[in-house]
Amino acid sequence: MKIFIDTANIKMIEEINSWGILDGVTTNPSLIAKEGTDLKKCVSQIAKIVDGPISAEAISLTAPEMIKEGRELAKIHENINVKLPMCIESLKATKVLSSEGIDVNMTLIFSPQQAILASKSGARYVSPFIGRLDDIGQSGSDMLIQTVMAFRNYDIDTEIIAASIRHPMHVIEAAIAGADIATIPYDILKKMVSHPKTDEGIQLFLKDHEKSKK
Ligand code: E4P
């Protein structure tokens, strides 16, 4: 499973990239606003750091406007893909953008049927939101499993990005479901590294090493 970071924070991206495990980055308008930055400036900075796909979300509401905005975003760097929210206008825009070789990440996916339509329109990625479905008492994990199984049945090559990941267990659920990618917030990536028994083991080995020198 590929690992993306879900943030627009440059310092966090630099740090996680330095671990050598980062395959790409997703941003969204809320994450951009949180950093008080501008989308184009932010994604061009990210492209200098990470050698992998970077999602930049369009905010247009009609297909012609999405196509125009998508073309502009794609010009920023060859690794930029255009994130469009699942709706009829996005399907139309994706058909055009994908035919021009511009990758689209269809976001705000909450059902396998939405994912199937997104893949039919030519989306390179679909982003099922696990956490936000759990929030309303439905199973994000089940929705992800169904999406992966449906895509496998037809050898659909659209990549599935498990999104809206809220805790390390969601990462395990994404991996067991067979998602191609998990896009993970910074604090969860940090939590994934740690285990109390690992910390305890390191301390014990160091202590025993010191003893053996005496
Ligand atoms: C996906 O690309 C989105 O940016 C993200 O995963 C949304 O997560 P949230 O539901 O925690 O806001």
* Per-residue model confidence (pLDDT) at position 37: 93
User: Token pair of 77, please?
Assistant: 């760097």
- Identify which of 6, 110, 127, 188 to mutate to test ligand 1's pocket (most ligand atoms within 8 A of the CB): 6
Q: Is residue 135 scored above 80 in pLDDT?
A: yes
pLDDT tens digits for range 38-61: 999 999 999 999 999 999 999 999
Q: Whose CA is nearest to atom 9 of ligand 1?
A: 164
Looking at residue 146, its pLDDT comes to 98
In which band, very low, low, confident or very high, does the pLDDT at 214 lie, cut at 50, 70 and 90? confident
Using an 8 Å Cβ cutoff, are 174 and 1 in contact? yes
Position 67: which residue type?
I
* Nearest alpha carbon, ligand 1 atom 12: 164
Q: What is the pLDDT of residues 166-213, one digit of tens each?
A: 999 999 999 999 999 999 999 999 999 999 999 999 999 999 999 988
Distance 210 CA to ligand 1 centre (A): 46
Instruction: Please tell me the distance between residue 137's alpha carbon and the centre of ligand 1 in angstroms.
Output: 17
List the one residue out of 26, 27, 24, 80 whose CA is nearest residue 52. Answer: 24
* Predicted confidence (pLDDT) per residue in 1-36, tens digit: 999 999 999 999 999 999 999 999 999 999 999 999
Nearest atom of ligand 1 to the alpha carbon of 55? 2
Q: What residues flank ligand 1, with Cβ below 6 Å? A: 6, 26, 28, 107, 127, 129, 131-132, 163-164, 183
- Which residue's CA is the closest to the ligand 1 atom numbered 6? 164
pLDDT of 29 reads: 97
C-alpha distances out from residue 160 to 126, 147, 149, 189, 197, Å: 5, 8, 11, 19, 33
The stretch 139-149 carries a mean pLDDT of 98
Expressed in angstroms and rounded, the spacing between residue 168 Cα and the centre of ligand 1 is 15
> Ligand 1 center to residue 5 CA distance, Å?
10
